[in-house]
Amino acid sequence: MNVLKLAAVAVFSFMSTTSLLAEDTSRMKKHDADLIVSGAYIVTMNGAKDVLKDGALAVKDGVIIAIGDKADILAAYQASEIISGENRAVMPGFVNGHTHSAMVLFRGMADDLPLMEWLRNYIFPMEGAYVDEALIKAGTALACYEMIESGTTSFVDMYFYPDVIAGVVDQCGLRATISTPMIDFPSPGFKGWDDSFAAGVDFAKRWKGKHPRITPALAPHAPYTVSPEHLAQAFATAKDLDVPVSIHVAEDRAEIKTIKDQYGVTPVEHLETAGMLDTTTIAAHMVWPSESDIQKLAASKVGAIHNPTSNMKTGAGVAPIPAMLKAGVKVGIGTDGAASNNDLDMWPEMRFAALLHKGISGDPTVVPAIEALDMATKGGALAAGFPADIGSLEVGMKADFIQVALDKPRLTPLYDIVSHLVYAANSSDVVTSVVDGKILMKNREVLTLDKAEVMAAVEVIAKKIRADLAKE
């Protein structure tokens, strides 16, 4: 048999085998899934930072059960809900590592002020005058709507009436770590430390392990609003209860000076004495750690949450993120509350996290796009104390992800999907949001909250605030 005939036989054999395989595959019983979502790109944020082209993932019982080539997934799995991914990227949802959600009601009320003046002369008095259960419910619902629309799937919240916040989170479908501020002086609903601490502990005990998407935390407000004894009490109790601590740390120069004058140490050293370094701690801001502080943080259970917009707006400074990342500190990104941001949109926070440090250092290689994306997703989940199954798209991980539309002029042409996500995309590009396997937004329509009802409830409160402000 000559070479030509051999080649013909080989081709026929290959075609026959292929036909049989296709027939066998078509007869195979497909595995059941609840949801299949595909994408022109699947940005996994796994350890290797793999990006799959023309991929898909299958979800069952809130968990990713398969991820890979779109054709293979559709051949092997069937689901009642299949979302097409043409001209779309699928990526992990954002983890907003620090916010005060209901403070959307104070958006734009006091701008362009130094942090301590803003806090003591405006925010604390506003909270004392207006914060009640109705404000918290309306504000949290508005905040959650904003976060769902802009691609956040998990957030860390520190604010008053935590049971009300938890109720809204339960309804809207987001994932959250929730705590109420513990402060030494009077605050909404509390006379001081004793009752705010007791309420925070009670909330943590009642909610720990009770809800698949809600984690309680303790929240001593800051080293300048809580005494050393009370800080130590909070960290010890958090360890006993096995819940995280959420706290503001080293936010501005005034705090650094106050702690130095009173105790002769940095805020991190002060909190080390209280037990912070060996407690799972979500440390918001961390703008002014010393070199020694950074080394201690790298060896600790503390995650630092970078809030670039809030810190710039209040003149607090710029956190040394490149140095912290180089040392091995866990770093995430947060928006802070909308009273100091003035939104809850993680896209500009991620972009600022990449660009700001290039600008002040003069080094365009620091915080590259993939590192910024990691801080907003998987790395941010670790820094914010979320379980290890949050923040990336892998088999066995929670099904928390978003789809981003790529069919926009400003996203064309596309050479590098990660570059586009960090430097060009924005919140209006998010078309689908899924948390715990449940679709919260589809084709830009939020399914779990009624927009008209949310806006109307907020307007009732805002109308009263506007009338009161007009009297001043």
Instruction: Please state the domain extents for the chain.
Output: 93-402
Contacts (Cβ under 8 Å, ≥6 apart) of 19: none
| Burial of residue 2, with CB atoms counted within 10 A of its CB: 0-12 exposed, 13-18 middle, 19 or more buried | exposed
| One-letter amino acid for residue 365 of the chain | T
Closest CA to 184 of 225, 236, 235: 225
What is the secondary structure of 104-151 as a DSSP string? GGGTTSS-S--HHHHIIIIIHHHHHHH-SHHHHHHHHHHHHHHHHHHT
What is the pLDDT averaged over residues 386-402? 98
What is the secondary structure of 343-366 as a DSSP string? ---HHHHHHHHHHHHHHHHT-TTS
Q: What is the pLDDT of residues 131-166, one digit of tens each?
A: 999 999 999 999 999 999 999 999 999 999 999 999
**C-alpha span between 115 and 97 (Å, rounded):** 20
The pairing of strands 181-182 and 219-220 is parallel
What is the pLDDT averaged over residues 355-366? 97
What the block records as the tokens of 259 is 């702690």
Could you give the residue ranges of the DSSP H alpha helices within 318-450?
321-327, 346-361, 369-376, 378-383, 417-423
Residue with tokens 């539309």: 405
**C-alpha span between 133 and 131 (Å, rounded):** 7
pLDDT score, position 470: 83
pLDDT score, position 27: 55
CATH superfamily label, 93-402: Metal-dependent hydrolases (3.20.20.140)
**C-alpha span between 101 and 150 (Å, rounded):** 14
Q: What is the pLDDT of residues 255-265, one digit of tens each?
A: 999 999 999 99
Q: What is the pLDDT of residues 159-184, one digit of tens each?
A: 999 999 999 999 999 999 999 999 99
**C-alpha span between 221 and 337 (Å, rounded):** 14
pTM assigned to the model: 0.93
**C-alpha span between 329 and 371 (Å, rounded):** 13
Q: Is the pLDDT of residue 16 over 50?
A: no
**C-alpha span between 46 and 62 (Å, rounded):** 18
**C-alpha span between 430 and 36 (Å, rounded):** 18
> Taking CA 283 as the corner, what is the angle to CA 341 and CA 271, rounded to the nearest 5 degrees?
135
DSSP three-state, residue 265: coil
Sign (positive or negative) of CA dihedral 262, 266, 270, 271: positive
Contacts (Cβ under 8 Å, ≥6 apart) of 352: 308, 309, 312
